Amino acid sequence: MQKIVYIADLDQDIDDLIAAEYLNKKGVLKCIVMDPIPKTKEGIERKQMLSDLGIEIRTKMIPDAEIVFVGGALTTISSYIINHKIKYLVMNGGFVGNNIVKEPLKKFKDKTECRTFNFNCDVQSTDKVLKSKNIENIILVGKNVCHDKRNTSIGIWKDEKELFKKYNVNDTKLQHDMLACHEGLVELGLIEEEHFLDYQMLQPYNLGLNGSYTLWGSKEKDDRNQYRMVKAAIKWK
Q: What is the pLDDT of residues 137-195, one digit of tens each?
A: 999 999 999 999 999 999 999 999 899 999 999 999 999 999 999 999 999 999 999 99
SS3 79: helix
Note the pLDDT tens digit of each residue in 67-97.
Answer: 999 999 999 999 999 999 999 999 999 999 9
Q: How far, in Å, CA of 43 to CA of 41, rounded? A: 6
Report pLDDT digits (tens) over 109-140.
999 999 999 999 999 999 999 999 999 999 99
The whole-number pLDDT of residue 221 equals 87
* Sign of the Cα pseudo-torsion (33, 35, 38, 40, in order): negative
Q: In the chain, what are the domain boundaries?
A: 4-236
State how far Cα 79 lies from the chain centre: 18
Of 206, 208, 210, which is closest to residue 218 (Cα–Cα)?
206
Indicate the average pLDDT of the chain. Answer: 96
Helix (H) or strand (E) holding 145: helix 143-146
Q: Provide the CATH number for the domain formed by 4-236 in this structure.
A: 3.90.245.10
Question: Half-sphere exposure of residue 40, counting CA atoms within 13 Å on the CB side?
Answer: 10
What angle in degrees, to the nearest 10, is found between the helix axes of 15-25 and 176-187?
Answer: 30
Phi–psi pair at 177, nearest 5 degrees: -70, -35
Provide the pLDDT confidence category of residue 1 given band limits of 50, 70 and 90: low
pTM of the model: 0.96
DSSP letters for 1-41: ---EEEEE-TTT-THHHHHHHHHHHTT-EEEEEESS---SH
Full DSSP string of 163-221: HHHHTT--TT---HHHHHHHHHHHHTTSSS---SEEEEEEEEEESS-BTBT--EEEES-
